[in-house]
Structure 1
Amino acid sequence: MTSTAPAGITHGQTTSADGTALGYFRRGSGPALVITHGSISTSDQWIPATEHLAGHFTCYVHDRRGRGRSGDTAAYDLAAEVADIAAMMAIAGPGAHLLGHSYGALCTLAYAETHGVDGTLLLFEPPLAVDGPVAGAGLATYRTLVEAGDLEAALEFALVNFVRVPAEAVPEIRRTPLWESAVPLTPSWVRELEQIDSLGDDLTHYGAITTPVHLIAGTATTPFLFESAHALTGVLPRSGITELPGLDHFAHLVDPVGFAAVVRGAIGR
């Protein structure tokens, strides 16, 4: 391991079941908390929140395959993400808690179905098909833009049509650091959107998860993301939910102090 800035972060590497290298950072002390980030992002997006979690947890945040410090394979499905999380949970050790954001929350749900979680499972706005496919027919247009190399247009199309951000909000998003970091990752979203839509709208199978689960949703987020979180509370037998007033899908970046407080409260730290 080598130390890097910001202070308190060390980088490491492990290997998934198929031999894919997974880069991750470790920060803090206390019970282990494995964090799985969402689409078009990397582990770096969780640096602000882990600054405020590090006094209570040992945070392990990996770059999901295909980005950051992690490797990739041509073949891809949700099971590969589950295997990657399993590799991280092995490093974290018994009793680890698990947090997933957006598509990462779907990955952690799939992990919980097949492996269980010793600690608490936290799900921050998983994108479920509660009102129809998330991408649907629009995925063909998105794929065409990506294959043509028009990544900025692809990202704008996805934000409006898949995340369902108001079109008038896109110029403001373009001015944020989030845009610059997300554009190069737009190709990785194609396969993830395929996986999201393949899950369908039947949530009943999640009822077999007996792990304590806590959902997190911002009241200012996209309606289907807010509805997804609430729909799961009606299915998961041991679940609760915290609403974040006035915040959205990026609450962990906009209000890392408040977000960290919600995580600590859900786990009882």
Structure 2
Amino acid sequence: MSTVVSPDGTAVAYSKVGSGPALVLVDGALCYRAFGPMKNLATALAPNFTVYYYDRRGRGETGGNENWTLEREIDDIGVLLKEAGGEAFLFGASSGAVVALEAAARLSGVKKIAVYEPPFIVDDTHPARPDDYIENMDAMIAAGKPGDALQTFMKTVGTPGFAITIMKLTPVWKKLKAVAHTLPNDLRALGDTGAGKPLPVDRWTSATMPALAIDGGKSPVYMRNGVRSLSEILPDAEYRTLEGQTHMVKAAVVAPVLVEFFTRG
């Protein structure tokens, strides 16, 4: 493990594998280096890139949750870009895709960006997130009930009740509870993109680099509609569907797509 220090003094833990142009991976909600998809994806991409993957604020071996703001999350990516030599490709998954988009819009040095299924709700194909969603999450976390916050989150994103019940009986639930305090951060990063209305056309206009918006062919309609909408408002974007994939995309499937996009002249 290595660390870089963000401007507010938080040590951001990261791992680096492979060789070639730099690529930074941004995890989604509840994920970090030791728990989630990015380690396998980094390994799959290592033959083509120097891959940096890291623990976002409040997770794994990175602190700073008490100082969380979206701007500080972007600062964390900024110091990783500096560590990578000043420029890099960027890939974000789920809510991490939104953080990556914000970084691409605000930082210099992002050469290209690819995102997989930011959890936007842009129409009536899925219920909009409740107006008091974040407030309720904050209250549960403050009351020392991370399991309740986690269950609420999973129900809201559409996880079946029986699946949640089974998950509670596995070691995975304990790992998820350990980072449930970071859920409000991801929800705040999403802003109003879960309100069931079109995406704000001016939010990422500064992200003028080539972009790739990816979804899975087996993912929910609402999520695919959100990805397609994103591709239509970014300045220089293309849209790609990975047939047979869900929100939990396989590294072996998405890695070749990222290699082709990032290495294309």
Q: TM-score, normalised by structure 1?
A: 0.85
Cα separation, 2, equivalents of 1:109 and 1:52:
23
Give the match's secondary structure for 2:12. strand
**Aligned counterpart, 2:42:** 50
1:237 paired residue number = 235
1:143 to 1:168, Cα distance in 2 relative to 1, 3 A? same
1:196 counterpart letter in structure 2: L
| Corresponding position of 1:247 | 245
Superposed CA deviations along residues 125-171 of structure 1, whole A, max 9, x for unmatched, are 1123424754533334433333333333321221111x223334434
| SS, match of residue 205 in structure 1 | coil
Q: How many residues align?
A: 255
When structure 1 is superposed on structure 2, of 42-51 and 19-28 the one drifting more is 42-51
Aligned to 1:123: 115
Q: Name the structure 2 match of 1:262.
A: 257
Q: CA shift at 1:31, angstroms?
A: 1.0
- Rounded to whole Å, the distance in 1 between the matches of 2:114 and 2:11 is 25
CA contact (8 A) 1:164 1:222 kept: no
SS in 2 for 1:225: helix
Q: Which amino acid aligns with 2:102?
A: A
1:43-82 alignment runs, 5 A limit: 43-44=33-34, 45=36, 46-72=38-64, 74-82=66-74
SS in structure 1 at match of 2:179: helix
Alignment of 1:184-203 (within 5 A): 184-198=178-192, 201-203=199-201
Tell me, which stretches of 5 or more residues in structure 1 are unaligned? 1-10
Q: Distance in 2 between matches of 1:136 and 1:246?
A: 33
Letter in 2 for 1:66: G
CA distance in 2, matches of 1:216, 1:173: 28
Mapped pair 1:167 → 2:157: no
124 and 177 in structure 1: CA distance in 2 versus 1, 3 angstrom threshold? farther
How many Å separate the matches in 2 of 1:54 and 1:176? 31
Indicate conservation of the 8 Å contact 2:149/2:180, yes or no.
yes
| Matching residue of 2:103 | 111
Query: Match of 1:208, SS?
Result: coil
Structure 2: how far apart are the matches of 1:173 and 1:55?
35
Q: Secondary structure of the residue that 1:120 maps to in structure 2? A: strand
Cα distance in structure 2, aligned partners of 1:138 and 1:205: 22
Structure 1's consecutive aligned runs of 4 or more residues displaced over 6 angstroms after TM superposition are none
- Percent identity, aligned pairs only? 27
Q: Is there any run of 5+ residues in structure 2 with no aligned partner, and where?
A: none
2:214 to 213, 216, 223: 216
